[in-house]
Structure 1
Amino acid sequence: MEEAIRKIDKKLSLPYWDSTLDFDMENPANTIMFSPEFLGDGYGVVTTGPFANWATPIGQLERNIGGDSELFSKEIIKSIMKRCKTSEIVAPTADSDSDIELYHGGPHVWVGGHMTGLNTAAHDPVFFLHHAFVDYIWETFRTRQSSVCKVNPELDYPKASGEHASNRAMDGLSGFVNIDGYRNYWTKSWYKYERSPTCPSCGSPYLKCDKARGVCVSIERKLTPEEGSQAGGSLEFFAKDTAQSPRAASARDQVKQLDVGPTFRAPPAEPRTQKAQLARMR
């Protein structure tokens, strides 16, 4: 994808979406990321931002942010970084607290809509930003393998057969086999990652430093009345009320109609999601 972008403008790079910055908010669903300035609507059909009225093979692009599962958290990433072998962080041999594939499914399901399905996730441009962050986590893990674990990441390919066999030809990348993706060449000669922002200077007007926790956090977007709910006779935007908002309710109904095929394996709904809120109301 990045190479395709650079055929149009050589100065552009594919950014990653560090969703830990949103997870650390009081209510991740209120993040500035899902605003006209960035990714557009988070509820229902996307009609704002650079992907407004984005067409897909199954209709206009749809989302339902914060509906289910969870975003990446710094705690999850720390757990992954405690491991030394790739087999310890991938299915089927990883423990549940360090399974990067399981936790990669969290943001897929959290964004909702097209991003939820294996057959449709790549129709949402968020897919590429999310996967760039998954690769950033993996590259950080590989760097630690060399520096701390004294493991050669180029040779640490787990035992696998079938489509994941080390010497199987890569789909769509003529001349490469799966294990070629483990070569240090790519980040030595082809691309590198900017580090995720840290306090005290988070480097963006769209981030703020939470001094109490020492972490950078996304700022909230300007919320519409449809994103709040009536509490005590007034409009509120608390995390616990998201599921009751008209926009979230409408989005839930809309995305139910989407045929996304099989859905991603993902962690259970964290307490701030619509699914967890609705369960508490029953």
Structure 2
Amino acid sequence: MIGRRVARGATGVAGLVVAAEIAGASGLLDPAVLPRMSTILLEAVRLPADPEFTADLVATLRVWAMGLLIAVLGAVPLGLVLGNLRRAETAARPLVEFLRPIPSIALIPLVTLLVPSTEAVKIIAVVYAASWPVLINTMYGLKDVDPVARETLRSFGFGRLAVLRRVSLPSAAPFVMTGVRLASSIAFVVTVSTELLAGGVSGIGVYMIRAGSGLRTDLIIACVLWTGALGLVANVLLVRLQRQAFRWHAVKAVGEP
């Protein structure tokens, strides 16, 4: 089943590439505006040999990893607190629902004024955007805990922390992992978007800005292909990790398509 899905996806991508190449070769698309797909793919293959691009790629991955790690370390404990304490959740829910829809990109001008470091601005934007899926899925996972198992442990004299460690955490772990996977994709999108808006000295977005100043549309689209490929690889790795770690628990968590 998985092999068929991969084959169908590869067929769709190949069909799009062929259609774009035909449109470029036939003159339907102006090469000055949109280069031929063969030219773009050739530049994408050449990019890893460019030390400037690899340095920017490493910078993007560093911001992505740091922002995602901080988001997970902050959102999971907060989700555990709000998911276990009803009064705390009731008090925090209006604030969460107010802040969650605000795009992190919209906060970049404000953060830029308050924080002098461009690197810190990027990390703050990533942390803000990536925290919500982890927080919401952690809270949702705790609500899915079997109340019978929880009350059984309490009847045997186990305290709140013991019940959390023995029942609630194992039950909520698949939801938390799904939140991390969703946050990973969001973090990557926000990282590149912040680089494009906030600038700086390094990052894939900064490399695209430099390519745009030289009217190198082929390089810009090649970078877009690389960002898409990296996001896909990260998602596939996290999906495999989730399936290996939680074979016993198949669940579709909040925000998962």
Q: TM-score, normalised by structure 2?
A: 0.25
Give the number of the structure whose alpha-carbon radius of gyration is greater: 2
Give the structure with the larger strand fraction. Answer: 1
Normalised by the length of structure 1, the TM-score is 0.23
The structure carrying a bigger helix percent of its residues is 2
